[in-house]
Amino acid sequence: MNDLLAKYKEIALLGKIHSLMGWDTEVNMPPKGAASRGEQSALLTSISVDKWLDPEFKKLLNKAFSKKNLSLKEKAIVRNLKRASNIYYKIPKELLVKESKLTSKAFVTWAKSREENDFKSFAPYLEELLKISREVAEHLGYKDNPYDALLDLYEPGLTAKFCEDLFNRLTPELSHLSLELKSPKKPKLLRLPIESQKELAIFVLNQMGYDFSAGRMDVAPHPFETTLGRFDVRITNRYSDSSLEGLTGAMHEGGHALYEQGVNEKFEYTPLDHGVSLGIHESQSRFWENIIGRSSEFAKYIAPKYKLTQKDLYNLLNQVKPGMIRVDADEVTYNLHVALRFEIENDLINGKIKVQDLPEIWNSKMKKYLGITPKNNSEGLLQDVHWSHNSFGYFPTYTLGNLYSAQWRFYMQKELNIKKLVEKGDFKPILDWLRRNIHQYGSLYYPGELVKKVTGENLNPRYFLDYIKEKYQTSH
């Protein structure tokens, strides 16, 4: 096992280097640097794949697979390696290298397309990426639906059927609620200069427990968290004159970062490092962004710093109003945005719709679910970075995250008076609960095992629907 872990450490280190390259591409790289970065990234992918394919590594891996009497940790290591190695043993290396090269260019094109509302420039990349995704699905294998193979990459065992059932349960209630609710008149946002917003975001992150000496926050077009090392967990954020996205973005990405900064240090460079799945990861970000950050107690705590009343800040953070942009969506309508993306991805992967028809399809689905129509593709199907990364299958994990976060809240409340703590800005007991129950385990438990271990039951959407109803039917 030690030989295997020593070899895996090299793979883990290459992954960190790759994360740095990805971070730099989105945060700092000058536009003309894209082509070379693409070649660099493809080479690193190739080297990393070679390490997976190294016969010596494969031998050690097979030996570990067949071992009996493994400890809990060893079992998890073997299971995670098996899962990860599927990608390299089933997908041809050339395809992975091709994907890596293409996404580097696709990202830059997407950013420009979005800026210039120019879907046509991005469309050929999307075609190519879809082709690759379909090939990947074929190589990985699936039972009913090629999309299942992609969903499983982000959340072990997730299927299109499961998502469909979930969204069928969620969307009617959420649509109903969003129609029933009358949003209070949107209060005027006091215009804080961007610099002050940044300072406040830093203040809140410090309060939450984010360790800036093992991380940093930069500005990027799409906020994200990335782990460049166990002690180098970075987030990006963006600010606007007319919204609180600088606050909610910081809490969201901060939630991801706290998870990564809380994993057992001994797991560094092993297959147990990092959060276990995108769904659980998103449960951390949404917990901080929504359950804490959009609560009236948090509004009470932070309002003075924003020179607003508690009520105005709360109303600003909780406008239930169908909007164009997923990341700006309120808690009620957010999952409707995800449902739309899920349907489109499922149809794209299955060849039921064409890339060239996407603008029309997007708009008609927006109309159906949210009753509104984007005025252009930049605020429509070009808004998200994910497809430029070829991350088909990623979006549904956002909804899983919302559901998990509400379930954590329900059980955390049995131990802690969350409202009282948040009102005082005393987040430490909350972070400690998350560290103790979730963060420390990294990838030791699969999502299903973790939720069972922590809450004694499986993922249960009831907690989310109850939370939403309680919050919005009481407070309005």
Residue placing its CB nearer to its own copies in the complex, 13 or 190: 13
Terminal C-alpha separation, the chain? 58
- Asked if 457 is an active-site residue, the reply is no
Q: Are 210 and 236 in contact (CB under 8 A)?
A: no
The DSSP code for 33 is G
Give me the DSSP letters along 50-82: HHHH-HHHHHHHHHHHT--S--HHHHHHHHHHH
As measured in angstroms, the least distance from the Cβ of 51 to its own copies is 10
Dig out the tokens for 364 from the structure. 């008609």
What is the rounded distance in angstroms from the CA atom of residue 351 to the CA atom of residue 193?
47
Minimum Å gap between C-beta 39 and its own copies is 6
Angle at 419 between CA 199 and CA 459, to 5 degrees: 100
261 vs 284 by CB, closer to its own copies:
261
Phi-psi region of 329 (alpha: psi -120 to 50; beta: other; left: phi over 0): beta
Q: Which is nearer to its own copies, 9 or 169 (CB)?
A: 9
Marked catalytic residue, from 26, 155, 253, 343: 253
In whole angstroms, give the CA distance from residue 459 to residue 407: 8
Least separation in angstroms between residue 131's CB and its own copies is 26
CA 248, 254, 255, 256: dihedral to nearest 10 degrees? 120
Whole-angstrom Cα distance, residue 91 to residue 89?
A: 6
| Residue in this structure with the two tokens 């949003």, named with its chain if needed | 183
Nearest approach, Cβ of 234 to its own copies (angstroms)? 8
Residues binding its own copies (CB under 8 A): 10, 13-14, 16-17, 20-21, 24, 28-33, 35-37, 39-40, 43-44, 47, 211-216, 218, 228-232, 234, 268
Smaller CB distance to its own copies: residue 89 or 212?
A: 212
What the block records as the tokens of 250 is 């910081």
Whether the CB-CB separation of 285 and 253 falls below 8 Å is answered with yes
Which residue's CB is nearer to its own copies, number 231 or number 411?
231
- List active site positions: 253
